[in-house]
Structure 1
């Protein structure tokens, strides 16, 4: 795996630590020296730099998020689509994914707590759909719960597992978190 910890990207982003690993990318926590803030940087793995399909998906993700502006959707600050390095600089979400959040609470959430979390997810999805975008990978891994209890939706278009395809268009989703008709 490519490791950028301790490196500076574009003379601006000081990469601090790995915070997530997906099928085609690694997400790092970094410090943006120009804007004086902590950010998350999703870097396309080197092994996919020569794969046009993966590069297209990665670019589509940045475009999809960049079009959106909503309190429950991660924001994009910057992108780099160089020949040797491609990355998306995003808002750093100080929280934990919904899967770990539920696990820390014994695997069960109170109905009123779950309702509040789902309300934020639905607000985010409403904003996404109004802009003509389909997330296609809603799962507990892609929903971050912040310390104030609000939710932020992540991972637009860079699904970790490709679980099905059809002839009309390639679909990306996690089995068990998508409607069954997408698996036919």
Structure 2
């Protein structure tokens, strides 16, 4: 066995927490890679894919054209509670920062991310997971990283297990994962 990179590790977590009938959320659908992965994992379930950028929604629709189990939501993830059905979710994933190959001035914000995590955690079934892929390699990413880590450290360990998965000997502030498992 060898260590998984950050994005492969996020998929490993998805695989461990998701069944084929689950409701899942891609809180930052971006170019559609996570939305596609989730849609393939829940063929009898449903994916809710959020993004504030129309470009991201269109990119994700193209990437996932063969899947009918996705609802696309052109809105901020902080409004997730307005769109989810009355069923608990098993998994949510965030890729924080900016849209790859997109406008780097449009970034996720600490306050909207934290609000979305709180709302998703409230809807997360026991044994479910929220995955945050955090990119601190730009100024706004550093600010969001600090705020999110400070927030996550406030969770009661009786309510959630929270891990941080990172490579500590890489240059240029590499991305890392925080995962919140609801107890």
Q: TM-score, with normalisation over the residues of structure 1?
A: 0.28
Greater relative CO, 1 or 2 (CA 8 Å, sep 6+): 2
The structure with more helix, counted as a fraction of residues: 2
Larger Rg: 1
